[in-house]
Amino acid sequence: MKEKTQVADIDRSLYDFRYDEDESSFLDCGITPEIIREISAEKGDPEWMTEFRLHSLEIYNRLKMPDWGPDISGLNIDNIVAYIRPKKGMQSDWNEVPDDIKETFEKLGIPQAERESLAGVGAQYDSELVYHNVRKEVAESGVVYTDLESAMHDERYAGMIKSHFMKLVPPTDHKFAALHGAVWSGGSFVYVPSGVKLEIPLQSYFRLNAKGAGQFEHTLIIVEDNAYLHFIEGCSAPKYYEASLHAGCVELYVGNNSTLRYSTIENWSKNMYNLNTKRAVVGENGKVEWVSGSFGSHVSYLYPMSILNGRKARAEFTGITFAGEGQNLDTGAKIVHNAPETSSYMNTRSISKSGGISTFRSAVTINENAVGSKSAVSCESLMLDSISRSDTIPSMVVKTDKADVGHEARIGRISDEAVFYLMSRGLDENAAKALIVSGFADNVSKELPLEYAVEMNNLINLEMKGSIG
Amino acid sequence: MTKLNILPLPTFARLGVNCAEREVGAFEREEITVPEGAEQQIIKFVSPCSETIVTVGKNAALKLVMIFADKQRCAARLITTLDDSARLDLIQLYLGGDTVSEIVTELKGCKSAFTAEIGYDLGAGDVLDINLVANHYGRKSTSEIAVNGVLRDNAQKTFKGTIDFRNGSAGAKGSEKEDVILMNEEVVNKTVPVILCDEEDVEGSHGATIGRIDEQHIYYMQSRGIPEEKIYELITRARLLKIIGKIGDEQTEKRIHNTLGWEVQY
């Protein structure tokens, strides 16, 4: 009988520890005007934000659930706790962070990463930021990296927040954008002034510890002209049997001649509904680079969108999705070419095993004014067994003749010829197959900072016994 | 309004590709059965509201040519079931009008095979919505879909091509490719090449190129003294001729050339 190579499930032991929560810090479940007002009061929102939240709630109640994509009928919003009061306010001194929270992030390696390779770190635990710090030299360059609530109350940034907050992703965009507008809490505000090129990355890490809760952080990044920023986002949660919800929102404004790289390693637990919305608008000759690894969640809807509004603006999306048992991960990207000579490139890999479902879904739109634009999409999917599923649903809408759009996709299993070739070079069959699977994810791992590439390889965690082929 | 051409797995609603909506009357139904071991060729000029149900028996083959030459409103549906080692070679040409066309091929049999060569030449006011679905059930079944077309003036076209590998279709292969030439700034092209996969041991691929004629081709032909407007005409005509030439019936080819207003020496 043919021996099979085992590609193991993602090793989640690193993420599955948890601490008991004091449930008196939870607001009631469900989304009502009273709860929205309570959240707003807890956070000391300015009046316009309270109004915005209540207006978003009206939109949320009006909009229907999406009628495409994975089934989310297991998610009952009435059972989700939208806000958890923090034990202590946000700290900039690590020693001041409560012990259990500190221990959580130390296990995840956040302080160590900050010391070694980051220009600044933000750490969110449940609904609020618990720690935020930025290197002195970075702050002196004029870069602002803080939590959104503090920025909203700081007269230097309040106007900027009001004029940018949920302008790219309006609450009318979809039901969960409206929900986010109503209950958002936490997240980061980053401002990079003109001409500042931040060589080392900033990172925010989001941890949802509480059972049956939602996390609704908002990340707002404004990169002015001729600037550079690499922002890293990490997400994890311990596993519970109750459904949890992540409906965050990311809005990125990339100025003329600027580049913003946004890297995400998402490893939510398998009870999580990850209904996140990310969107960037890019100015003339600017560039947005998305690097995205989706490993966790029970269900994901995740399609970072790039709107290329300036002449010669560019977008790149590099992504990998690994769907294992009990997971239905619907991921991809959307790109809108809205100015002449814009260009985009999408390169994705999907792996399905042990009954997991991965779907690549994309939309490239070339509008009438995007003359001379180019777009290329490449997606590959690997099925590791016959109980899994892998779908690709790309779409291209072209409204001008002066554009070039290319698309290619492949789906299949590990090629016998490739295994034979590697075996002829001295590898045994299992090693050859494991090497091919590992190489399949290479397009993403080489785009990540080294420590994250190592983490990703650990997540894929290939073992040498059992079942490909 | 009736919803037609429903995408097997819907996608972002705002793209407007999940279905086509038209007012349609009753479909004129025709059934074609190709018995076991037989080989047939059928050429149809498709009437405005027609449904064609085809069954191809074991080891049988059908070459089906469908011409959509009536520049009127048209809704058509072709549903084919293929038995073991059965084969359908489909050629379709769309020459204008407002057309909604659905092609569903059920590759039920082991080693059943489906090829589709689809061409279109659309101009002012023309609208075309094609929804092609190849459902692979049979082991080692194959599908090969090639779509080539030209959009002029303010023509609008949507091509949705789905290859669906059902569980149990081990050894199946499917490929689809669409090449679209856009000739005017007012055209709207939508391409949705879908692969659904519920079986490990399959190979599926799709590709699409959408845009203008390659500048190198234009440069080469200009260097041979051919004016630019003639080059566009030659290249687009060559694309359709490649498909027309496979029909293998001179009368039909002449009729198509007349519809397209081409002067061809026979």
Residue A339 has pLDDT above 80, yes or no: yes
Residue A398 forms contact with B (CB below 8 Å): yes
Q: What is the mean pLDDT of chain A?
A: 84
- Is residue B132 in a domain? yes
Closest chain B residue to A353 measured between Cα atoms?
B200
Question: What residues pair up with B150 in beta bridges, in sequence order?
Answer: B121, B181
What pLDDT is stored for residue A111 in this prediction? 62
What pLDDT is stored for residue B131 in this prediction? 98
Chain B positions touching A386 (Cβ under 8 A) are 167, 170, 199-201
- Is residue B53 in a domain? yes
What pLDDT is stored for residue B199 in this prediction? 92
Chain B positions touching A402 (Cβ under 8 A) are 185, 212
Mean pLDDT is lowest, of A187-201, A384-398, A455-469, for A455-469
Mean per-residue pLDDT pooled into runs of 10, chain B (266 residues): 93 94 89 97 92 98 94 92 98 94 98 97 95 98 96 96 96 95 94 94 92 85 89 86 90 88 68
**Winning range, highest mean pLDDT, from A105-119, A247-261, B15-29, B252-266:** A247-261
Residue A241 forms contact with B (CB below 8 Å): no
Closest chain A residue to B16 measured between Cα atoms?
A397
Residue A373 has pLDDT above 80, yes or no: yes
Subunit contact B189:A391, Cβ cutoff 8 A: no
Chain A positions touching B151 (Cβ under 8 A) are 401
Q: What is the pLDDT of residues A145-203, one digit of tens each?
A: 998 988 999 999 999 999 999 999 999 999 999 999 999 998 899 999 999 999 888 88
- Is residue B146 in a domain? yes
A–B: how many Cβ contacts below 8 A? 138
Residue A5 has pLDDT above 90, yes or no: no
pLDDT: is A410 or B134 the higher one? B134
Closest chain B residue to A358 measured between Cα atoms?
B197
List the Cα angle B133/B137/B139 in 5-degree steps: 130
pLDDT confidence tier of residue A451, bands split at 50, 70 and 90: low
Question: Do residues B187 and B216 make contact, with C-beta atoms less than 8 angstroms apart?
Answer: no
Chain B positions touching A399 (Cβ under 8 A) are 187-189
Subunit contact B17:A395, Cβ cutoff 8 A: yes
Of A67, A402, A409, the CB nearest to B206: A409
What pLDDT is stored for residue A13 in this prediction? 58
A positions 84-143 inside 8 Å of B (CB): none
pTM, full prediction: 0.89
Chain B residues bordering chain A (beta-carbon distance below 8 Å): 9-13, 15, 17-18, 151, 167, 170, 180, 182-185, 187-212
Chain A: nearest CA to B142, how far in angstroms?
14
Subunit contact B193:A394, Cβ cutoff 8 A: yes
B123: containing domain: 2-10+26-212
pLDDT: is A87 or A39 the higher one? A39
Q: Average of pLDDT values for A6-32? A: 61
Of A407, A410, A413, the CB nearest to B208: A407
Q: How far apart are CA A395 and CA A417, in angstroms?
A: 32
Q: How far apart are CA A306 and CA A332, in angstroms?
A: 12
Residue A450 has pLDDT above 70, yes or no: no
Chain B: nearest CA to A457, how far in angstroms?
23
Subunit contact A410:B197, Cβ cutoff 8 A: no
- Reading the block at residue A418, the tokens are 């490739």
Residue A229 has pLDDT above 90, yes or no: yes
Q: What's the total number of domains in chain B?
A: 1
Residue A242 has pLDDT above 80, yes or no: no
What are the residue ranges spanned by the domains of chain A? Answer: 23-460
What does residue A245 show for φ and ψ, rounded to 5 degrees? Answer: -130, 130
Mean pLDDT is lowest, of A46-50, A319-323, B172-176, for A319-323
What pLDDT is stored for residue A248 in this prediction? 93
Alpha-carbon separation of residue A277 from A147, A219, B141, B173 (angstroms): 19, 10, 40, 35
Mutation choice for B interface testing from A302, A374, A393, A413 by most B CBs within 10 A: A393
Q: Average of pLDDT values for A207-218? A: 79
DSSP chain B: -EEES--SS---GGGS-S-EEE---PPEEEEEEE-TT-EEEEEEE--SEEEEEEEE-TT-EEEEEEEE---SEEEEEEEEEE-TT-EEEEEEEE-SSEEEEEEEEEE-STT-EEEEEEEEEE-TT-EEEEEEEEEE-STT-EEEEEEEEEE-TT-EEEEEEEEEE-TT-TT-EEEEEEEEEE-STT-EEEEEEEEEE--SS-EEEEEEEEES--HHHHHHHHHTT--HHHHHHHHHHHHHHHHHTTT--HHHHHHHHHHHT-----
What pLDDT is stored for residue A114 in this prediction? 61
What pLDDT is stored for residue A182 in this prediction? 95
Largest Cα–Cα separation, chain B:
56
What does residue A280 show for φ and ψ, rounded to 5 degrees? Answer: -130, 145
pLDDT confidence tier of residue A23, bands split at 50, 70 and 90: low
Closest chain B residue to A374 measured between Cα atoms?
B211
pLDDT confidence tier of residue A353, bands split at 50, 70 and 90: confident
Closest chain B residue to A394 measured between Cα atoms?
B192
Of A381, A396, A398, the CB nearest to B197: A381
Chain A positions touching B171 (Cβ under 8 A) are none
What pLDDT is stored for residue A1 in this prediction? 39
Q: How far apart are CA A437 and CA A383, in angstroms?
A: 10
Q: What CA dihedral angle connects A258, A259, A260 and A265, to 10 degrees?
A: 180
ipTM tops 0.85: yes
Subunit contact B206:A385, Cβ cutoff 8 A: no
Residue A361 forms contact with B (CB below 8 Å): yes
Closest chain A residue to B13 measured between Cα atoms?
A68
Q: How far apart are CA B165 and CA B142, in angstroms?
A: 10
pLDDT confidence tier of residue A464, bands split at 50, 70 and 90: very low
What pLDDT is stored for residue A468 in this prediction? 38
Residue A384 forms contact with B (CB below 8 Å): yes
